């Protein structure tokens, strides 16, 4: 009896092994390919992955799933007989994909496992872009890379500088000058005269010492190629001007003003279009020194009256009134009012006025 059990024990693994080897088996000569470095202007790169059916039944590749930038341009559609060979051809398009890449391709078939992963890697050397691509906006024959220059956060008393690249598309020398430049902004051209097909730089300096403003500030400067006034010839320059509280001592912070509103948001419910919504926001200086309201700015469609006082003594209460004219609006509306003060903990505070406007 023990001999019979032992014999059956030998037969079971063999049966399992035979079951595993039955049917189609998809085996690739290689499962990865490194293209190395390829040039973007060289066009698409392709590689063939050779597959062999090492099983005992026909192998059918049902589909090939690729990732971004990668396509399966061809694979063997006919059943691959046992010991037969097939091809999966993978193509990678480097257009507008500079730098390193690593992509996976999954080949599905009637073999187990149903999906087998292939990988391709490489590095795309970007092509040199044409002036037409780099300087899409034109002012006359002057190409400009960017028409908006953002300085983001600029502290009071600080001067910052940035630049914009330009290109002379004409066949003649070009003088580039600037008009309507505010006093806190200086703009210059380097070189002062552009040769034909030459690249230059507009240098912009922003000096907060020369402006009495706070928060988000937007200015526009005219660009004048050869002193000619072309349509759409402005560049916009923005900055978010903030007070520098970083140098305050612990004692100064403890004695600083504090702005506290009774409420920072108001829902006016549902009103008919054309109704004027008004709401008073009440605040108190809970700090230990004078609270100075630097600036109040409302979003589109909303206006805000100046507060009762611009300097609020410690413990004193004040208010400001927001007004929203609903004519021309419908649906859910949300308006904001930004209050800028000398409170070091919250120098910029946003109030909300929201509700629903029923269209007439």
Nearest CA to 45 among 97, 116, 85, 115? 97
Q: Say yes or no: 100 and 143 in one domain.
A: no
Predicted confidence at residue 15, as pLDDT, reads 42
Predicted confidence at residue 71, as pLDDT, reads 79
Predicted confidence at residue 67, as pLDDT, reads 79
Q: Give the model confidence (pLDDT) of 159-168 as tens digits.
A: 999 999 999 9
Q: Is residue 156 part of a domain?
A: yes
Q: Say yes or no: 257 and 176 in one domain.
A: no
Q: Is residue 175 part of a domain?
A: yes
- Here the CATH number for the domain that contains residue 203 is 2.60.40.10
Q: Is residue 326 part of a domain?
A: yes
Token pair in block for residue 192 = 């002062």
Q: Say yes or no: 349 and 283 in one domain.
A: yes
Q: Say yes or no: 139 and 210 in one domain.
A: yes
Q: Is residue 178 part of a domain?
A: yes
The arithmetic mean of pLDDT across residues 175-188, rounded, is 97
Which of 209, 242, 275 is where one domain is finished?
Answer: 242
Q: Mapping DSSP to helix (H, G, I), strand (E, B) and coil, where does residue 209 land? A: helix
Query: Tokens 């829902």 belong to which residue?
Result: 267
Q: Say yes or no: 76 and 28 in one domain.
A: yes
Supply the pTM of this predicted model. Answer: 0.72
> 74 pLDDT exceeds 60?
yes
Q: How many domains does the chain have?
A: 3
Q: Say yes or no: 231 and 158 in one domain.
A: yes
Q: Say yes or no: 346 and 278 in one domain.
A: yes
Q: Is residue 9 part of a domain?
A: no
Sequential DSSP letters for 1-67: -HHHHHHHHHHHHHHHHHHHHSS--EEES-SEEEEEEEEGGG--EEEEEEEEE-SSS-B-EEEEEE-
Range name among 14-18, 88-92, 128-132, 176-180 with the lowest pLDDT average: 14-18
Predicted confidence at residue 18, as pLDDT, reads 47
Which of 242, 268, 302 is where one domain is finished?
Answer: 242
With vertex at residue 203, the alpha carbon angle to CA 173 and CA 236, rounded to the nearest 5 degrees, is: 100
Report the chain's mean pLDDT, rounded to a whole number.
91
Q: Is residue 270 part of a domain?
A: yes
Q: Give the model confidence (pLDDT) of 103-148 as tens digits.
A: 999 999 999 988 999 999 999 999 999 999 999 999 999 999 999 9
Q: How confident is the model at residue 153 (pLDDT cuts 50, 70, 90)?
A: very high
Q: Say yes or no: 151 and 109 in one domain.
A: no
Q: Is residue 187 part of a domain?
A: yes
Q: Say yes or no: 137 and 236 in one domain.
A: yes
Q: Give the model confidence (pLDDT) of 248-302 as tens digits.
A: 999 999 999 999 999 999 999 999 999 999 999 999 999 999 999 999 998 877 7
Q: Say yes or no: 230 and 262 in one domain.
A: no
Q: Say yes or no: 263 and 354 in one domain.
A: yes
Predicted confidence at residue 72, as pLDDT, reads 74
Domain that holds residue 306: 251-358
- Rounded Cα distance between 248 and 327, Å, is 46
Which of 215, 242, 269 is where one domain is finished?
Answer: 242
Q: Is residue 232 part of a domain?
A: yes
Range name among 170-174, 278-282, 288-292, 305-309 with the lowest pLDDT average: 305-309
Q: Give the model confidence (pLDDT) of 44-57 as tens digits.
A: 999 999 999 999 99
Q: Say yes or no: 173 and 92 in one domain.
A: no
């Amino acid at each position: 009896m023990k001999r019979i059990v032992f014999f059956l024990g030998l037969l079971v693994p063999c049966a399992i092994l035979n079951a595993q080897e039955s049917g189609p088996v998809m085996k690739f000569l290689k499962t990865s390919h490194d293209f190395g470095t390829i040039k973007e202007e060289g066009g698409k790169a392709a590689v063939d992955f050779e597959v062999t059916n090492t099983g005992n039944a026909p192998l059918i590749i049902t589909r090939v799933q690729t990732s971004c930038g990668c396509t399966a341009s061809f694979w063997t559609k006919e059943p691959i007989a046992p010991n037969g060979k097939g091809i999966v051809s993978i193509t990678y398009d480097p257009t507008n994909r500079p730098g390193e890449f690593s992509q996976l391709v999954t080949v599905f078939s009637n073999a187990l496992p149903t999906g087998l992963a292939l990988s391709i890697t490489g590095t795309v050397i970007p092509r040199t872009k044409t002036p037409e691509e780099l300087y899409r906006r034109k002012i006359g024959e002057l190409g400009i890379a960017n028409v908006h220059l953002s300085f983001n956060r600029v502290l009071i008393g600080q001067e910052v500088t940035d630049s914009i690249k330009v290109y002379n598309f004409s066949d003649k020398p070009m003088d580039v000058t600037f008009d309507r430049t505010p006093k806190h902004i200086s703009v210059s051209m380097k070189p002062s005269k552009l040769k034909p097909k030459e690249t230059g730089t507009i240098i912009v300096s922003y000096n907060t010492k020369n402006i009495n403003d706070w928060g988000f500030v937007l200015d526009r400067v005219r660009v004048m190629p050869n002193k000619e006034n072309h349509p759409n010839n402005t560049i916009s320059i923005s900055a978010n001007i903030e007070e520098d509280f970083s140098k305050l001592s612990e004692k100064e912070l403890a004695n600083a003003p504090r702005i506290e509103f009774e409420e920072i948001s108001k829902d006016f419910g549902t009103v008919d279009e054309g109704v004027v919504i008004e709401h008073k926001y009440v605040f108190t200086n809970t700090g230990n020194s004078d609270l100075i309201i630097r600036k109040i700015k409302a979003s589109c469609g909303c206006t805000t009256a100046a507060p009762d006082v611009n300097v609020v003594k410690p413990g004193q209460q004040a208010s400001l009134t927001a007004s929203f004219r609903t004519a021309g609006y419908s649906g859910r509306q949300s308006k904001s009012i930004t209050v800028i003060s000398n409170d070091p903990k919250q120098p910029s505070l946003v109030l909300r006025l929201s509700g629903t406007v029923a269209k007439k």
